[in-house]
Amino acid sequence: MSASKRVLHHNLNAFLDLISFSEGTSIAGSDDGYNVIVGGKLFTGYASPQYFLVDLPNLGIKSTAIGRYQILYRYATHYITALGLRDFSPLSQDKIALQLIRECKATQLIIDGDLTKAVAACASRWASFPGNAYGQRQENIKRLAQFFVAAGGVIK
């Protein structure tokens, strides 16, 4: 359950959960994915984003993605400053993810329940979403839609 659950539209809540599901951060022992390092290890402390350069030889890349939404380190530090956040806490991570969604012009698509267009709009931000050229594992839109509905989202 995301830290913003109390204040967001149900479809935005479900979409945040969907990102976590798609990015694979909903793992046992994690803090709802908020403390996950790319590759599945966990970090401690939310005072600031932590830098981990993880070699992912099966993908042929190295990544600094961290947190529930697998935000690259350089973007995490940028958005903390840009949004006036104090830390990399769960609430701050949610705010960063919502800002990324806004930048993709997907907020209204999500609220309206147009999941296919919302996922396509956000594919440039999350490598696990179908329709990007990152060359990483991409989730199937049908599976994403099933998860979105199970998480409380409504598709129109």
So which residues are the catalytic ones?
23
CA atoms of 113 and 44, how far apart (whole Å): 35
CA atoms of 80 and 118, how far apart (whole Å): 24
Q: Which amino acid would we find at residue 131? A: G
| Angle between helices 141-150 and 115-122 in degrees, nearest 10 | 110
CB atoms within 10 A of CB 80: 19
* Residue pair 79/109 in contact by the 8 Å Cβ criterion: no
CA atoms of 77 and 2, how far apart (whole Å): 20
Closest CA to 31 of 22, 20, 19, 47: 20
